[in-house]
Amino acid sequence: MHITPEIKAEATTILELCKGDLMAALKVAESQLNIVYTRAQVLMSLAGMVVTVTGFSGRLIAGSSPAAQLFIVAGLLVSLSSAAWVFRRVMRVQWITTLASQDKEHALEQALYRRNRKTRAYTIGGTLLFVGLLLYAISIALMLTDPVAIVGPVR
């Protein structure tokens, strides 16, 4: 674990703003982590929507062309990879209060390090999801530009 000079400076500033109260300072870090968790939940929901849409329309989309098949499968896989990444790297629970027994500045530095690590992981997960959705949208566009007639119920 590498605590950067930026993290050290931020920890010092937060502690000063909180008048040396470690629990108040940790609460600041906790509220920032909650923002990352909330946004990660949105990414997980979007990835879930991809799976749901694939369940309802995937066969129709994939039936329109071999290219659409490739793009819908790739979009689904990349979107699910994003969800797995976010679940493993961002949604994992690590209690901030376990740091409270440490030196004040070190405890806050550790909390800020966790926040930064989860924020980077969220950014990567969001980028993966964007790529997955883009691939998925291409498959839909391929279907819409060359629609096939639907004969009977789609199974």
Could you give phi then psi for residue 63, rounded to 5 degrees? -75, -10
What is the torsional sign of CA 35, 38, 43, 46? Answer: negative
Q: How confident is the model at residue 90 (pLDDT cuts 50, 70, 90)?
A: very high
Across the range 43-51, mean pLDDT stands at: 93
The residue whose two tokens read 């797995």 is 84
pLDDT of residue 95: 77
In single-letter form, the type of residue at position 10 comes to: E
Residue 60 — very low, low, confident or very high, per pLDDT cuts 50/70/90? confident
Residue 153 has pLDDT above 80, yes or no: no
Range 105-124 average pLDDT: 93
Mean of the per-residue pLDDT values of the chain: 90
Q: Which residue has the higher pLDDT, 155 or 122?
A: 122
pLDDT, position 98: 74
Three-state DSSP at 116 gives helix
Structure tokens at 86: 């976010």
User: What's the CA gap between 27 and 9, in Å, rounded?
Assistant: 17
Asked if the model's pLDDT at residue 46 lies above 90, the reply is yes
Q: Where are the domains of the chain?
A: 20-145
Strand, helix or coil at 155? coil
Question: According to the model, what pLDDT value does residue 63 have?
Answer: 87
Report whether 36 contacts 122 (CB < 8 A): yes
Angle between helices 22-62 and 5-17 (to 10 degrees): 120
| pTM score, whole prediction | 0.86
- Can you tell me the mean pLDDT for 134-142? 95
- From CA 152, how far away is CA 134, in angstroms rounded? 30
Residue 133 contacts by C-beta under 8 Å, 6 or more apart in sequence? 46, 50, 75, 79
Per-residue pLDDT at 87 exceeds 60: yes
Q: Are 21 and 50 in contact (CB under 8 A)?
A: no
How far from each other are the two terminal CA atoms of the chain, in whole angstroms?
52
Higher pLDDT, 112 or 99: 112
